[in-house]
């Protein structure tokens, strides 16, 4: 692939990444405002991570939430997604650097490292926000039907492994940028 095509592909990936950030936050809000979109038994399957786990099986109840409770659920479920969105934004900036031909820059390595860190923080915040969100969703239920849930899922372990891999690759890229910088000073 020639440099011009790679630059164009990187620009496109930057735009797609931005659309992904906006789309996941909008989809998260949409499944709380319109729970029929979620992947419950009669839903359309558009649930997203933490929201999907807590709407599953109670879409009819969620549809009856007062506005303040729905907005609170949107905020609580968006906290982990904002961390992921921050990481995706660094990925977008990395693609923008690649589009400018900055393959071995320390800034590119820094952006990649921040992607890995953000993915790890996303997993941690997802784990921490689930009990809060489950209490929030069931707070109006009668005593004995209120719920505090906590989940450790296989995708969380995969995401943590990928975050670690990204962090190692970022460190390698940073080292490569240092070597490239040293080589340029000799020439």
How many separate helices (H) and strands (E) can be counted in the chain? 6, 0
Q: Which position has the higher pLDDT, 3 or 137?
A: 137
Q: DSSP secondary-structure letter at 138?
A: H
pTM of the model: 0.87
End-to-end CA distance of the chain: 27
The yes-or-no verdict on residue 19 having pLDDT over 70 is yes
Radius of gyration of the chain (CA): 20
Q: Per residue in 27-80, pLDDT tens?
A: 999 999 998 887 655 556 666 678 888 887 788 888 899 999 999 999 999 999
Q: What is d(CA 5, CA 113) in angstroms, rounded to the nearest whole number?
A: 25
Return all residues near 136 (Cβ < 8 A) that are at least 6 apart.
69, 72, 73, 76
Q: Per residue in 118-142, pLDDT tens?
A: 999 999 999 999 999 999 998 988 8
Q: What is d(CA 110, CA 73) in angstroms, rounded to the nearest whole number?
A: 33
Return all residues near 165 (Cβ < 8 A) that are at least 6 apart.
116
Share of the chain above pLDDT 70, in %: 93
Structural domains in the chain (count): 1
Q: Given this model, what pLDDT does residue 104 score?
A: 81
- Mean pLDDT (the chain) is 89
Supply 5's token pair.
């095509």
Q: Given this model, what pLDDT does residue 21 score?
A: 96
Q: Given this model, what pLDDT does residue 20 score?
A: 96
Q: Which domain covers residue 31, as residue numbers?
A: 3-186
């Amino acid at each position: 692939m020639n440099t011009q095509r790679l630059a164009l592909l990187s620009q496109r990936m930057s735009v797609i990444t931005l659309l992904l950030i906006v789309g996941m936050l909008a989809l998260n809000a949409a499944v709380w405002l319109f729970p029929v979109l979620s992947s419950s038994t009669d839903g359309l399957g558009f649930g997203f991570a933490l929201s999907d786990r807590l709407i599953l099986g109670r879409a009819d109840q969620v549809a009856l939430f007062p506005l303040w409770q729905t907005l609170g659920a949107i905020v609580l479920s968006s906290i982990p997604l904002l961390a992921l969105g921050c990481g995706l934004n660094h990925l977008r900036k990395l693609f923008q650097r690649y589009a400018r031909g900055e393959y071995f820059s320390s800034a590119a390595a820094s952006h990649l490292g921040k992607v890995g860190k953000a993915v790890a923080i996303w997993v941690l915040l997802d784990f921490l926000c689930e009990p809060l969100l489950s209490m929030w969703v069931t707070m109006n239920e009668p005593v004995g039907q209120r719920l505090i849930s906590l989940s450790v899922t296989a995708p969380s372990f995969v995401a943590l492994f990928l975050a670690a891999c990204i962090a190692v690759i970022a460190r390698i890229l940073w080292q490569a940028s240092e070597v490239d910088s040293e080589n340029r000073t000799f020439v």
